[in-house]
Amino acid sequence: MSTTPRIDVANVPARALPRLAWPAPRQRLQAASRTALRLLSLSLFLVGWHLATTHELNLYVRFANVPTPARVVNDAMTLFATRGFWIHIAASLERIYLGFAIATVLGVGLGLLIGWFRVAEDLLFPPIELLRPIPAVAWVPISIMLWPTERASIVFITGLGAFFPIVLNTIHGVEAIDRGLVRAAMSLGAGRASIFREVVIPGALPNIVTGLSVGMGVSWICLISAEMISGQYGVGYFTWVAYGIVKYSSIVVGMLTIGILGMVSSALIRVGGASLMPWRPRSAKDET
Res. 112: pLDDT tops 90: yes
3-state secondary structure the chain: CCCCCCCCHHHCCHHHCCCCCCCCHHHHHHHHHHHHHHHHHHHHHHHHHHHHHHCCCECCCECCCCCCHHHHHHHHHHHHCCHHHHHHHHHHHHHHHHHHHHHHHHHHHHHHHHHHCHHHHHHHHHHHHHHCCCCHHHHHHHHHHHCCCHHHHHHHHHHHHHHHHHHHHHHHHHHCCCHHHHHHHHHCCCCHHHHHHHHHHHHHHHHHHHHHHHHHHHHHHHHHHHHHHHCCCCHHHHHHHHHHCCCHHHHHHHHHHHHHHHHHHHHHHHHHHHHHCCCCCCCHHHHC
86 pLDDT exceeds 90? yes
Higher pLDDT, 19 or 93: 93
Per the prediction, the chain carries an average pLDDT of 84
* CB distance 63 to 52 below 8 Å: yes
pLDDT of residue 29: 77
User: How sure is the predictor about 219, in pLDDT bands with cuts at 50, 70 and 90?
Assistant: very high
- Whole-model pTM? 0.80
pLDDT over 90 (residue 114): yes
Phi then psi for residue 13, to 5 deg, are -60, 145
Q: Residue 62 forms beta bridges with which residues?
A: 58
What is the b/e burial string over 53-81, where b = at least 16 CB atoms within 10 angstroms of the residue's CB? beeeeeeeeebeebbbbeebeebbeebee
What share of the chain in percent tops pLDDT 70? Answer: 89
User: Does residue 128 register a pLDDT over 90?
Assistant: yes
Nearest to 270 by CA among 212, 217, 200: 212
222 against 287, higher pLDDT: 222
Q: Cα 211 from chain centroid?
A: 9
Mean pLDDT within 244-249: 85
Q: Rg of the chain over CA atoms, in angstroms? A: 26
| Cβ 215 vs Cβ 99: under 8 Å | no
Q: What is the mean pLDDT of residues 144-153?
A: 87
pLDDT level of residue 172 (50, 70, 90 thresholds)? very high
The amino acid that residue 120 corresponds to is A
Query: For residue 224, is pLDDT > 50?
Result: yes
Average pLDDT, integer, range 67-95 = 91
pLDDT in tens, 5-40: 554 545 545 554 455 445 567 777 777 888 888 889
What per-residue confidence (pLDDT) applies to 9? Answer: 46
pLDDT over 90 at 166, yes or no: yes
231 has a pLDDT exceeding 80: no
pLDDT computed for residue 24 by the predictor: 63
Find out whether 70 and 198 touch, Cβ atoms under 8 Å: no
pLDDT > 90? residue 168: yes
